[in-house]
Amino acid sequence: MHGRPRRPAKPEDEEAASAKAAKLRDLQAQVLHNHHARTYTKEAIGLSFKLLEINPEAYTAWNYRKLAFQHNVKELSDPEAIKSAVDDELRVVEVALRQNPKSYGAWYHRKWLLNQKLAPVDFKREFGLLDKLLKVDARNFHGWNYRRFLSRFMGVPDEEELKYTMDKISENFSNYSAWHNRSILLSNLLIQQSKGFESKQKIFSEEFELVTQALFTDPSDQSGWFYHLWLLAQTSSPDNPQLIASWPSNAAKLTSSLMKEKVEQHTLSSIWSRTVPIVLYFNEPVKGLNQSSVNLKSDLEFSKDIQWRPLTMADSGYSNCWAAYLQISNECSSLQEYSVEVNIPCSDDIVSRSGSNYNSPVHFTFDIELISNDTAQGLDLFDKPVAWNCSESFQSHGNRDPIPVDLLKITSALVEQDSNWHFERLSEEIDLFRELPDDNSKFGKLTLARLLLACAAIKSRGRSLIERKGYCEEALGLFTDLIHLDPSHKQCYEDERSLVLMDKLTCDMETFMKHCSVQVQPNSAPLNHVQLCRLSLTRIGFAERLLWVQMLDLSHNSLRSVEGLEALQHLVFLNISNNQISSFTALEPLTKIISLKVLDLSFNKIGAHSIDTTRYICSSPFSHKIEASEAFEEYQKVNINVEEYWDAILFFRSLKLAQLDIKGNEIASKENFRTLVVTLIPCLKWFDGEDVN
């Protein structure tokens, strides 16, 4: 089944193929005719068999057979007759599977038949059929799917199925399906706490040993590495989701002005006007945050019900990062401090993708001070374009609280159970893979890097900074090796390296402070400024440590995506000039940052390629959304070329920018682009350094 070379077609093959096609067309027409006419006679059903015998992919023929079967079986009352009807149908499926063992339609038909529960199922025959098929091709995932279906159908204990995966792995360990099924069965058994599966540590130790045997035998075989990756994920991450950061952080003091909303759009709002976002950041994607799973207590009055929204591009409902916007009601007008209490108890509502619920309760409070802020009122802060070079260090601005410390407090306050075992297990694996004699095994290096990072993550909880940095350094070296060793996956390794780099730069205060400063703009409170320039970053990581940032300079990197920045609900200034952004689709996360006012996109690659390749990389491109088509209609009316600028339209219309720099991109040189942007962002004041008006 695998690794068969394709031979070029010969002329006689073509002839045979066209004859076959003619025959198929004829059969298909007849079957369709019978289908429409609801003819369920023996001859008509026989025709559909003839069609499926040659082409098991004719899905309509399967559906026709289902209807015909239901129709005919109704008239039968003798159990024997029903049984023989079912048997006939099963035999048709077998014939089809002989033609194509990977026919979706045929497998589905068989499951459908069994699910009708009309006759007792001969499980011996079913498992016999499966054994035969899996002998021909042990990696036929349809077969494995059907096996899972059967074992559930007849209640085969997971332990037995686990034994079967071991049999298959003993025959040939290059079997993704067997390893995969093993991971599913083990997860089930561990969750159910079946007999012999009480200790996760013992089971995983055994599994690590088993898969290591395969990895060391043939380091170039991928199937084992995939299983190892699963084991690593099970070992390195906590069982249950955890909150790792929030904004505002615990005991933070905020100020909020009582300005009217219409004035708001032209202010540099380090001071919130009646709207305060709360951001919660989890260690893995979760869903189920709502008013009851997150308790908010405050003497402030909110004008609307609080709604928690996932900050993510995907529609899955799961997200690492959740936000809610507190609307301070107009009735609150006394200038005083209000305290807000956030309480996340153990909750069955908040669940991770693997289905485990949130069970580490967190409680934090912060204060909001309402101020009148009359001085700022009426002042146009954007009377000239904002420059990026006037900032002072934190030290010189001594009176400010170093905000990151507070953020990190939450992270370290979390108690990590079992972390000793995890760490020991991972260390053992690291020692093992350091000895892998195959120096050029990319999987070996990648796995070692991942193990090191998992160790680093555990160490962050124990605050062993030096060790942690050592792990990061080694992992960085491995990724650099990998970029040379396996150039076809260069971008992937660069992304991984960027994450490690960001971890290294932000994991401790001392290093992080070198990149932090306070930006002082006239007529505005100082802004928290972070500079991560010229680091060859290709993507953003550890956004949970940047939640407090208001001004972010990421210029002169190699960013291809800005995913992660959507968590920075406080961000006002963003500089991503001189990067590798190639489309507006890649910038979609920015549309989630409602506070963003100044954006520097200059000298990127937007518009350089007519085909937007990131559409397939980004989790959810702009396209195919209902609100999009409404917007398009609207803009079509004002003579905007929707076909050409659809992504620009969707991007800019969701931003409330005051200043945009986009020079140095292909798209900016297009004639009517400036007009387009100005139309799309009515509040824009500065375009590429020029006054819009």
Partner 1 sequence: MAEAPAHDYPTIEPTSFDVVICGTGLPESVLAAACAAAGKTVLHVDPNPFYGSLYSSVPLPSFLSPDPSSVPLSPSGDDSHTVVDLHRRNIYSEAVDLLLRSGGSHHVEFKSVEGRSLLYWEGQLYPVPDSRQAIFLDAATLKLTEKTVLFRFFELVRAHIAAADEDVEGEEASDKISEEDLDLPFVEYLKKQQLPPKMRAVVLYAIAMADYDQDTDCCEKLLTTREGIQTIALYSSSIGRFANAQRAFIYPMYGHGELTQAFCRCAAVKGALYVLRMPISALLMDEERKNCLGARLTSGQDILCQQLILDPSYKVPILDAPSDGSDSNLLRKVARGICIISKSVKQDSSNLLIVFPPKSLEEQQIAAIRGLQLSSNLAVCPPGMFMVYLSTPCADTSTGKQCIKKAIDALFAPQASDSLEGHLKETSENNEDLKPTVIWSCVYVQEITEGTSSSLLSCPTPDEHLDYRSILDSSKKLFTDICPNEEFLPKKSAAVYADDDSDSAE
For residue 617, the number of C-alpha atoms closer than 13 Å in the C-beta half-sphere is 20
Distances (CA, A) of 390 to 519, 535, 549: 6, 21, 16
Structure tokens, 140: 């036929």
Question: Which member of 18, 41, 70, 172 binds partner 1 (CB under 8 A)?
Answer: 172
Question: Which member of 113, 119, 129, 214 binds partner 1 (CB under 8 A)?
Answer: 214
Structure tokens, 84: 């023989």
Q: Based on the shown chain and the rule CB under 8 A, indicate whether residue 170 belongs to the binding site for partner 1.
A: yes
DSSP 6: P
Question: Which member of 171, 348, 690, 691 binds partner 1 (CB under 8 A)?
Answer: 171
Considering the complex, state which of residue 236 and residue 441 has its C-beta at the smaller distance from partner 1: 441
Considering the complex, state which of residue 223 and residue 270 has its C-beta at the smaller distance from partner 1: 223
Structure tokens, 125: 């025959």
Return the range that interacts with partner 1 (CB under 8 A); candidates 186-194, 214-222, 516-524, 650-658.
Answer: 214-222
Question: Which member of 18, 192, 213, 343 binds partner 1 (CB under 8 A)?
Answer: 213
Considering the complex, state which of residue 217 and residue 412 has its C-beta at the smaller distance from partner 1: 217
Q: Based on the shown chain and the rule CB under 8 A, indicate whether residue 122 belongs to the binding site for partner 1.
A: no
Considering the complex, state which of residue 1 and residue 67 has its C-beta at the smaller distance from partner 1: 1
Separation of alpha carbons 90 and 128, rounded Å = 14
Q: What does the DSSP assignment read for 128-140?
A: HHHHHHHHH-TT-
Considering the complex, state which of residue 172 and residue 307 has its C-beta at the smaller distance from partner 1: 172
Report which residue type is found at 26: D
Question: Which member of 127, 216, 226, 632 binds partner 1 (CB under 8 A)?
Answer: 216
Q: Based on the shown chain and the rule CB under 8 A, indicate whether residue 206 belongs to the binding site for partner 1.
A: no
Q: Based on the shown chain and the rule CB under 8 A, indicate whether residue 68 belongs to the binding site for partner 1.
A: no
Of 496, 459, 460, the residue nearest 477 (C-alpha): 496
Question: Which member of 432, 520, 525, 533 binds partner 1 (CB under 8 A)?
Answer: 432
Return the range that interacts with partner 1 (CB under 8 A); candidates 122-130, 139-147, 164-172, 605-613.
Answer: 164-172
Considering the complex, state which of residue 12 and residue 435 has its C-beta at the smaller distance from partner 1: 435
Distances (CA, A) of 266 to 185, 257, 371, 669: 58, 14, 18, 28
Contact 334, 370 (CB under 8 A): yes
Question: Which member of 41, 115, 199, 217 binds partner 1 (CB under 8 A)?
Answer: 217
Q: Based on the shown chain and the rule CB under 8 A, indicate whether residue 209 belongs to the binding site for partner 1.
A: yes
Q: Which residue has the tokens 């005051």?
A: 658
CA 522 to chain centre: 40
> Could you write out the three-class secondary structure of 15-45?
HHHHHHHHHHHHHHHHHHHHHHHCCCCHHHH
> What percent of the residues of the chain are helix, what percent strand, and what percent coil, each to the nearest 5?
50, 15, 40
Q: Which residues 6+ apart lie within 8 Å of 195 measured at CB?
A: none
Considering the complex, state which of residue 172 and residue 675 has its C-beta at the smaller distance from partner 1: 172
Size of the site for partner 1 (CB under 8 A): 18
Of 257, 210, 259, the residue nearest 231 (C-alpha): 210
Considering the complex, state which of residue 26 and residue 206 has its C-beta at the smaller distance from partner 1: 206
The count of other CB atoms within 10 Å of the CB of residue 552 is: 22
Considering the complex, state which of residue 220 and residue 336 has its C-beta at the smaller distance from partner 1: 220
**Closest separation between CB of residue 548 and partner 1, Å?**
47
**Closest separation between CB of residue 173 and partner 1, Å?**
5
Q: Based on the shown chain and the rule CB under 8 A, indicate whether residue 226 belongs to the binding site for partner 1.
A: no
**Closest separation between CB of residue 207 and partner 1, Å?**
13
Residues that bind partner 1 (CB under 8 A): 170-173, 209-210, 212-214, 216-219, 432, 435-438
